[in-house]
Chain A
């Protein structure tokens, strides 16, 4: 009996260290996706401490939340992931009474297909997926995804390691939806990507920014927000959203089910929608804000910059990613075949 007690005691001691303080808000966000200065301002204003942690992919975040192992109160997933989490009843409905600053969010960014009634999420940033290219190496016009298949740029093209992003150029080139669940269409896109692989330098994540700024690549698939950052660092770079259409994406703020700090979480979301704070964040991150008041306070040349602020009308063929459920397994298999091909 004594032995059992000792073992139990040790187990209890182990778990005692994992608890979190009561007045702390646990925020789970993408890396480098907030001006961390604003966290201090929030604590100053409200007395609520913020425990700030990062994730690298939507799926990594989802896995952690789904398994309930970690207690987070505020998350920043992308559109399709919010769609999935709503379907799986993983999110709290937000009390908009506590988030009056939502009035600053542009109407065009509210109630989008991933959260049709706008009950679960408050948009944070938005952007598109396009081609970042180095004008010192590419002298032709970049207006089509075709250029990513041009053997002239062999070993100087970067793609994303995330499969749905890298499938987008292939689907759009073939005229398919980026949310397709037709196995023949996926197969055709897969063959296109296998055909492209020999001229690709690498499939990377955030590293693409350093590579493009450093002149390692001529062309790369990047999100518009990263393009803004890269162009600032290296003026030779330019960005285009191909005419075949692309992906428009949104990252939004949500609160997971079962949080003990819903009120504090809503206060935090309201704080993020404050125009001054939103301005600080968009200036720091370089991604396009959804906060129209903050947008109007940006310098005129930034407002007019089509990279920072793509004209919505020019994005006619573009789509938002939606959750495709278990069908993602088919994408994965196709993507593994692409990556494993010689």
Chain B
């Protein structure tokens, strides 16, 4: 009987995840000859890594450099989310904070709004004559001009993905056994030591899932870089979008998607390894 409840999920997974993934893989590995017959080839992948001028250094190659930029911006966003998110989660999970459900609610409210709308709102805020600059002008502070720069792209990512960092960390901090902290205190550990030796190591699973949940959408996003980057900071997500929606080259688009999937699998492998590292209590 229990199994019965798994069927909708199995159906869902096979229709919307497994089949599309196989299709992407198929498209990425094939090309069509003059008669319209498909044949196996690695050309779509080769194109991604190929030099546009002879002797071009690998990292400067057009698509490789776009990929590196995506990883870089996603890493920066993840780091900022961590720096902002950990203390927030820590405070919320803390004993002294009684109104945690309200604070949690405040973090979740923006997510009730459509992601696209939230990002559009930043356009109006960051414009040269926008809300932010009017405010700054009113206070006599020099204007900021960050719209259509990579700072705006990072800001958009941090804003949109911050809850994904806070929630898992909050959950794992909440689950921490209080008696362990008390034991450390009884044994003479000061606040910093309690945190660095007990609280933080025990929250690592939360940190790892937070980092994964911010890094992955960060590295694949194309809407944020389109809207807030003004099209000038193309990321790997934009490359894929361009192939499917503008050029109609599904094979190359699929190859880029597969490369992106491999990239994410590798980074997940790295994160998972951090997760498994034994917590030293010595």
Measured CB to CB, the residues of A under 8 A from B are 3, 6-7, 10-11, 14, 57, 59-60, 62-63, 66, 155, 161-163, 197, 200-204, 207, 211, 214-216, 328-329, 332-333, 336-337, 339-340
* Residues on B with beta carbons closer than 8 Å to the beta carbon of A337: 52, 62
B8 part of interface (Cβ distance < 8 Å): yes
CA A7 – CA B10 in complex, angstroms?
9
Q: Given A200-B232, A336-B62, A340-B65, are A10 and B8 neighbors across the interface (CB < 8 Å)?
A: yes
Q: In the complex, what residue of chain B is closest to A155 when comparing beta carbons? A: B145
* Residues on B with beta carbons closer than 8 Å to the beta carbon of A59: 245-248
Q: Contacting B245 at CB < 8 Å: which of A60, A202, A333?
A: A60
Chain B 54-65, CB within 8 Å of chain A: the 1/0 string? Answer: 000000001101
* Residues on B with beta carbons closer than 8 Å to the beta carbon of A161: 226, 231
In the assembled complex, how far is the CB of residue B229 from the closest CB belonging to chain A, in whole angstroms? 8
Q: Given A14-B15, A207-B123, A328-B247, are A6 and B232 neighbors across the interface (CB < 8 Å)?
A: no
B30 part of interface (Cβ distance < 8 Å): no
* Interface of chain B residues 77 through 127 with chain A (CB within 8 A): 123, 127
CA A7 – CA B145 in complex, angstroms?
55
5 extra interchain contacts, Cβ-Cβ under 8 A, other than A6-B7, A7-B7, A339-B238? A214-B127, A216-B127, A332-B246, A337-B62, A339-B234
In the assembled complex, how far is the CB of residue A9 from the closest CB belonging to chain B, in whole angstroms? 9
* Residues on A with beta carbons closer than 8 Å to the beta carbon of B145: 155
B230 part of interface (Cβ distance < 8 Å): yes
* Residues on A with beta carbons closer than 8 Å to the beta carbon of B8: 10
Which of B52, B232, B252 has most chain A Cβ within 10 Å? B232
Count of chain B residues near A, Cβ 8 A: 37
Is there an interface contact between B232 and A163, defined as CB atoms closer than 8 Å?
A: no
B182 part of interface (Cβ distance < 8 Å): no
Chain B 217-254, CB within 8 Å of chain A: the 1/0 string? Answer: 00000000011011110100011001111111100100
CA A215 – CA B130 in complex, angstroms?
11
The 10 closest A-B pairs by CB, nearest first: A202-B230, A203-B231, A202-B148, A332-B247, A161-B231, A339-B234, A59-B246, A10-B11, A60-B245, A59-B245
CA A197 – CA B230 in complex, angstroms?
12
* Residues on A with beta carbons closer than 8 Å to the beta carbon of B243: 332
CA A176 – CA B1 in complex, angstroms?
70
B128 part of interface (Cβ distance < 8 Å): yes
Main secondary structure of the interface of B (DSSP, over half): helix
B129 part of interface (Cβ distance < 8 Å): yes
CA A155 – CA B226 in complex, angstroms?
17
Q: List 14 A-B contacts (CB under 8 A).
A: A10-B7, A10-B11, A57-B245, A60-B245, A63-B245, A161-B231, A203-B232, A207-B123, A216-B127, A332-B246, A333-B62, A336-B66, A337-B52, A339-B234
B4 part of interface (Cβ distance < 8 Å): yes
Is there an interface contact between B232 and A339, defined as CB atoms closer than 8 Å?
A: yes
CA A163 – CA B69 in complex, angstroms?
21
* Residues on A with beta carbons closer than 8 Å to the beta carbon of B65: 340
In the assembled complex, how far is the CB of residue B228 from the closest CB belonging to chain A, in whole angstroms? 10
Which of B8, B52, B66, B247 has most chain A Cβ within 10 Å? B247
Is there an interface contact between B11 and A216, defined as CB atoms closer than 8 Å?
A: no
* Residues on B with beta carbons closer than 8 Å to the beta carbon of A211: 127
Is there an interface contact between B242 and A332, defined as CB atoms closer than 8 Å?
A: yes
Q: In the complex, what residue of chain A is closest to B147 when comparing beta carbons? A: A202
